[in-house]
Amino acid sequence: MNYLTMLHLILLFIFLYFLFLYVGISKYVFSENNHPIKHIIIIIQENTSFDHYFGTYPHPIKLNESKFKPSENTPSVNGFPNVIMNNNPNLVNPFLLNVSTPTCDMNHTYSGLQQAYNGGLLNKFVGNIESKSSDCNPNQSLGFYDGDTVTALWNYAQKFSMSDNFYSTIFGPSTPGYINIISGQTHGATPYNLDNEIVNGTIISDAEPFFDDCSHGKAFLKGKNIGDLLNLKNITWGWFQGGFKPSNMTVDGRAICHTQHVNYYGVNIRDYMAIVNPFQYYKSTANPHHLPPISISNIGHTDQSNHQYDMNYFWESINANNLPSVSFLRSSAYQDGHPNYSDPLDEQTFLVNTINKIQNSGFWNDSAIIITYDDSGGWYDHVMPPIVNQSNDPNNDLLLENGFCGHNNDKENQNRCGYGPRLPFILISPWSKSNYIDHTLLDQTSILKFIEDNWNLGEIGNKSFDLYSGTLLNMFDFNQNPNKKLILDPKVGSIILNNTLDTK
C-alpha cells in the first residue's frame, strides 16, 4: 500500500467518523430513544397578545415599589418601545390595567383583527369592543398588565425560555387557534358555509363541533390531526379539559356539561366550552358522549374515551406513573384568562398549581411544558406579523383593503390569512435555556412540528402550516446542567424557597 492510498484511507476514516458523529447527534435530537424529552405538556390559555402581558418585561411600571425584581442579566424583549408607549398610532397610548376591574371582550374575529392591524399601521385597535355592556372602555384594547399582576409568568420567563416572536397561525378567535395547534389546517370543514363561522370550507370563527353532546354545533373537519399521527406510531397522548366530565347524562346516554366555578369577581362560570376542544371536530379523535377511560392505566391509549378526558384524569395519570407522552391541558373556563369571564389571577392560580405539581412529580426530568395562547383576544400588540399565507376573500379579508390579505390563487385554501397576532410563549423544562429570549420566527404549528419531529411522526400534509413552522429547538440546551425546579405561590406568583415567599 503506497503513501497516497494510506492517506486517502485515513481521510476517509476521518470523514466517516465525523459523519457518524453528526448522525448520532441528529438522532439524539430527533429520536424518541435518545431525546431527553419524553413528555410534552402543552397548556393553552385564552386571548392574550404578547404586549398585553410582556410589553414592559422585565421592568414593571412601578419599578421601585414592585414585588418583581428582574435579574441583572435579563435579556431585553421586543416589547413597547418609547415611541409606542408615548406616541402610539392609535387614539390612546398603552396603559396599565388594574386587575380589580373586569375587562371586556374585544373584537378578535378573523376580519376584525385584520382591520385593527390595518395593513401594518396597527392603528385601529381603539373601539374594537364586542361586549354589549355599556361600561366598556373603548380604549381598553391598549391596556396591559405587568410583573406585579402576571408575576408567575414573568418568573417563569426569568428562569426558563420565552419567545418574543411567536404568532397565531392565522387571524381569528379561539376555534381556529386550537385547531391550528393540533393540525395546522382549518380548511376542509363541513358544512361548506355556515353563519360566517365557516366560509369557503374554512373555519374562521367559533363554530361549535358536531361530535360533542355538550355542543349545538354542526361543524366538523376532514383530514388528520396530531392525534391521528400519534395513534399510528402507538405514542400515548391525551386532551385534558376542565369540565369535560359530564354533570349528568340524559336517558339516551347523551352528556350534559353544567359544572361551574366562581371566578375572582364572584360570578358563576360554566367550566366546559366545546369550541376550545379541537379534537371534537374530527370523528377520528372525538369522544361525543364524554365517556371516561375504562381504567386509569388506559389513559393515553385508545378506548371508549378516545384520548379525551376531564382534567382530573391528568392528575390520576401522574399519580399512577402513567403520564401520556403528549398531553394537552385546557383549564376550566374561569381560569383560562379570557376577558369578561376570567382574569389573570384565576389564570395564575391554575398555571402555578399545575406546573408545581408537574415539577414535583417523577416526570419533571424528561418533560417540556409549554404555556401559550389560542389567540390575541383583540389586545394591542405593536408588531406586525409576517404574512406567510395570503387570502383574498372579498367579504372577510380586510388586512390591506376590502377583500385582500395579499393574493392567493388557490381557490381551495382561502380564508387562512396568517400569521396572525403575536402571542406569549414560554418553555419550561430542565433542558430549556435559562433566562433566555428566543427570536426565532415561530407560530402555533411550531408546537405541532416539535411533536412530529420528536417522535418521527411525519407531517400532517394537505397544506398544513407545519410546512412553514420554525423550530423550538433553539430554546433548548441538552448539554447544560438541568434547570432546577421553580416552585411558585399560586396566589401571588412569587418564588417559594424553604416554604417562605421570596419576591425575587
Long-range contacts from 396-399, C-beta under 8 angstroms, 24+ separation: 396/110, 396/111, 396/196, 396/199, 396/204, 397/111, 397/114, 398/111, 398/114, 398/115, 399/114, 399/115, 399/117, 399/118, 399/119, 399/171
pLDDT at 162: 98
168 in Cβ contact with 407 (< 8 Å)? no
With the CA atoms of 129, 134, 137 and 141 taken in that order, what torsion angle do they form, in degrees rounded to the nearest 10? -20
> In which band, very low, low, confident or very high, does the pLDDT at 501 lie, cut at 50, 70 and 90?
very low
- Express each pLDDT in 136-171 by its tens digit: 888 999 999 999 999 999 999 999 999 999 999 999
> In which band, very low, low, confident or very high, does the pLDDT at 66 lie, cut at 50, 70 and 90?
confident
> In which band, very low, low, confident or very high, does the pLDDT at 462 lie, cut at 50, 70 and 90?
very high
> In which band, very low, low, confident or very high, does the pLDDT at 31 lie, cut at 50, 70 and 90?
very low
pLDDT at 23: 40
Residue 406 has pLDDT above 70, yes or no: yes
Residue 22 has pLDDT above 60, yes or no: no
- Express each pLDDT in 376-395 by its tens digit: 999 999 999 999 999 999 99
pLDDT at 21: 44
Sign for the pseudo-dihedral over CA of 277, 279, 282, 288: negative
Residue 268 has pLDDT above 70, yes or no: yes
Residue 64 has pLDDT above 80, yes or no: no
Compute the average pLDDT of residues 33-37: 70
pLDDT at 403: 86
Determine whether 177 is exposed, middle or buried from the number of CB atoms within 10 Å of its CB (0-12, 13-18, 19+). Answer: buried
- Express each pLDDT in 417-451 by its tens digit: 999 999 999 999 999 999 999 999 999 999 999 99
Q: What is the mean pLDDT of the chain?
A: 92
* Rounded distance between C-alpha atoms, residue 463 and residue 132, angstroms: 38
Residue 5 has pLDDT above 70, yes or no: no
Residue 265 has pLDDT above 70, yes or no: yes
> In which band, very low, low, confident or very high, does the pLDDT at 338 lie, cut at 50, 70 and 90?
very high
Compute the average pLDDT of residues 96-121: 94
pLDDT at 24: 42
Compute the average pLDDT of residues 18-41: 57
- pTM reported for the whole predicted model: 0.92
Compute the average pLDDT of residues 41-50: 98
Residue 4 has pLDDT above 90, yes or no: no
pLDDT at 6: 55
